[in-house]
């Protein structure tokens, strides 16, 4: 005999099934978006870091890419050269013409600044014609007096510095010297470059080719295995086969490194540095304020009875996780968004999108509480889903903690988030299942 099922019950059952399906779809979308954020953050960060190849024990050619005319970069470059100099380096390759570097070498042996003053008078109006670059050379002369400069660029200022250097050599009977021939060739390169209509913002493939051949020739002449070079970052990308550094890598192999000065200036977000964390403090306020109000005035009816049956192990995980996260959020500044204003603009690590995602989750957490406080404040309201996240009162803050741990690369925070999640989400899910079972 067939059992009769009222049509109303069938409609209710279908309504519940449709609601559960929609919730699953929302949950799938929510967690998929989080997964995309994490994957994207790590992937973009890894891709960006590939632009920098740091020197190791096998490196013989250290290149550094700069933005011209910036004091903060000149200061870093001096420290880098001083470090190399103390290790025995003497050859410093720079993005100037051959004859400018030779003039600098003459100046290094002179007591007066007449030579360098003339050089800087010639380059006034260019990115390098500034007091910070002038100071950079004086610091090298004072602290690294045996430095030998090698200029590998085309002949800029060929009609001033270049012409004057050729006259100097001629006056000293050196018209048949290698110095004269190299300076003359550099002048011709400069004339060709500055008359080339295809040059855009100082860049052309022809100039790159000249810089490469000049570099190789200078490296052969310097008679040393290890050198350091400072060039505009437009020339120092080892991955680009059309640029100077990329083609030098093809020529020399893996003995060449290249690091952007902006990367060094940006530094790194040290995950375990101790200090005050503003982000953590704000997040804790966003956690504590609604929970304090809930505990004082907004507990759902029947909550105390449900809480009596909480799993002791899950409760232990929750309490330990809460203490750990609270302390860590106050003492690890690495949880703060790590941004730095440099001459080229604002620099950041792409993992910062995980920090932004954590903030979005905490804003959703506040919205969840607003909805709860405006509801009937029943148990089903407290353990409801929000924005696709099941038992949102637990999952939203726990995932936010986990994301901050990943962003900061702080394993302590990440581990604490897992401990908190096991306890906090576990308790909420048990309560949710009990409520569903009663309904």
Instruction: Provide the domain limits for residue 116.
Output: 61-266
Let me know whether 305 and 212 are in one domain.
no
Among 240, 266, 292, give the residue marking a domain's end.
266
Let me know whether 261 and 287 are in one domain.
no
Among 239, 266, 293, give the residue marking a domain's end.
266
Q: What is the mean pLDDT of the chain?
A: 92
Kindly report which listed range (6-15, 306-315, 357-366) carries the lowest average pLDDT score: 6-15
Banded model confidence at residue 348, pLDDT cuts 50, 70, 90: very high
The percentage of the chain sitting over the pLDDT mark of 70, rounded to a whole number, equals 95
Let me know whether 226 and 114 are in one domain.
yes
Let me know whether 215 and 330 are in one domain.
no
Q: How far apart are CA 182 and CA 319, in angstroms?
A: 75
Q: Is residue 12 part of a domain?
A: no
Whether the per-residue pLDDT at 265 is higher than 90: the answer is: yes
Q: Is residue 357 part of a domain?
A: yes
The percentage of the chain sitting over the pLDDT mark of 90, rounded to a whole number, equals 83
Among 246, 266, 286, give the residue marking a domain's end.
266
Q: Is residue 13 part of a domain?
A: no
In terms of DSSP bridges, do strands 345-348 and 148-153 run parallel, antiparallel, or are they unpaired? unpaired
Q: Which pairs with CB-CB distance under 8 Å and at least 24 residues apart come from 124-132? A: 126/156, 127/68, 127/69, 128/68, 128/69, 128/96, 130/69, 132/69, 132/70, 132/71, 132/74
Q: Is residue 53 part of a domain?
A: no
Let me know whether 363 and 275 are in one domain.
yes
Let me know whether 69 and 171 are in one domain.
yes
Let me know whether 262 and 275 are in one domain.
no
Let me know whether 218 and 94 are in one domain.
yes
pLDDT in tens, 166-184: 999 999 999 999 999 999 9
Q: Which helix (H) or strand (E) holds 177?
A: none
| Tokens 């090698």, located at residue | 150
In terms of DSSP bridges, do strands 256-260 and 339-342 run parallel, antiparallel, or are they unpaired? unpaired
Let me know whether 99 and 214 are in one domain.
yes
Domain containing 105 — which CATH number?
A: 3.40.50
Let me know whether 66 and 197 are in one domain.
yes
Predicted pLDDT at 214? 97
Averaged pLDDT for residues 32-56: 93
> What is the DSSP secondary-structure string of 405-437?
HHHHT-HHHHHHHHHHHHHHHHHHHHHHHHHHH
Predicted pLDDT at 181? 97
Extract the tokens encoding 430: 């048990």
- Count up the domains in the chain and report the number: 2
Q: Is residue 432 part of a domain?
A: yes
Sheet with 148-153: list strands edge to edge. 148-153, 91-97, 227-232, 61-66, 256-260
Q: Is residue 203 part of a domain?
A: yes
pLDDT in tens, 375-417: 999 999 999 999 999 999 999 999 999 999 999 999 999 999 9
Let me know whether 301 and 429 are in one domain.
yes
Q: Is residue 55 part of a domain?
A: no
Q: How far apart are CA 43 and CA 47, in angstroms?
A: 6
Let me know whether 274 and 400 are in one domain.
yes
Q: Which pairs with CB-CB distance under 8 Å and at least 24 residues apart come from 288-294? A: 290/365, 290/366, 290/369, 290/373, 293/373, 294/369, 294/372
> What global pTM score does this model have?
0.83
| Tokens 């005319």, located at residue | 69
Q: Is residue 370 part of a domain?
A: yes
pLDDT in tens, 322-343: 999 999 999 999 999 999 989 8
Predicted pLDDT at 15? 46
């Amino acid at each position: 005999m067939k059992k009769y099922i009222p049509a109303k019950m069938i409609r209710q059952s279908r309504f519940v099934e449709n609601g559960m399906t929609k919730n699953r779809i929302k949950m799938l979308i929510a967690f998929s978006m989080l997964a995309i954020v994490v994957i994207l953050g790590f992937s973009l960060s890894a891709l960006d870091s590939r632009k920098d190849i740091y020197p190791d024990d096998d490196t013989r050619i250290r290149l550094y890419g700069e933005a011209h005319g910036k004091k903060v970069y000149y200061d870093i470059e001096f420290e880098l050269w001083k470090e190399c100099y103390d290790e025995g380096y003497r050859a410093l390759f720079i993005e100037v013409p051959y004859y400018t570097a030779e003039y600098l070498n003459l100046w290094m042996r002179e007591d007066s600044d007449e030579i360098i003053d003339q050089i800087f008078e010639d380059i006034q109006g260019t990115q390098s014609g500034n007091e910070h670059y002038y100071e950079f050379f004086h610091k090298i002369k004072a602290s690294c007096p045996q430095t030998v400069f090698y200029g590998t660029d085309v002949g800029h200022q060929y009609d001033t510095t270049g012409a004057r250097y050729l006259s100097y050599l001629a006056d000293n009977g050196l018209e048949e010297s290698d110095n004269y021939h190299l300076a003359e060739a550099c002048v011709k390169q400069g004339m060709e470059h500055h008359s080339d209509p295809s040059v855009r913002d100082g860049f052309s493939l022809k100039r790159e080719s000249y810089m490469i051949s000049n570099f190789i020739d200078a490296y052969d002449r310097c008679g040393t295995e290890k050198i350091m070079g400072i060039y505009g970052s437009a020339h120092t990308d080892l991955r680009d086969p059309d640029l100077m550094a990329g083609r030098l890598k093809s020529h020399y192999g893996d003995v060449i490194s290249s690091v952007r000065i902006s990367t060094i200036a940006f530094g790194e977000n040290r995950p375990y540095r101790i200090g005050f964390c503003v982000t953590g403090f704000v997040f804790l306020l966003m956690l504590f304020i609604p929970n304090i109000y809930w505990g004082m005035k907004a507990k759902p009816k029947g909550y105390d009875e449900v809480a009596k049956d909480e799993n002791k192990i899950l409760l232990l995980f929750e309490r330990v996780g809460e203490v750990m996260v609270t302390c860590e959020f106050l003492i690890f500044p690495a949880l703060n968004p790590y941004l730095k204003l440099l001459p080229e603009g604002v620099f950041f690590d792409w993992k910062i999108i995980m920090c932004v995602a954590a903030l979005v989750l905490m804003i959703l957490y506040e919205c969840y509480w607003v909805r709860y406080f405006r509801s009937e404040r029943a148990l089903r309201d407290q353990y409801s889903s929000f924005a696709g996240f099941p038992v949102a009162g637990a999952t939203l803050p726990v995932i936010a903690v986990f994301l901050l741990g990943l962003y900061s690369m702080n394993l302590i925070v990440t581990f604490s988030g897992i401990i908190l999640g096991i306890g906090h989400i576990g308790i909420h899910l048990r309560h949710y299942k009990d409520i569903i079972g009663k309904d």
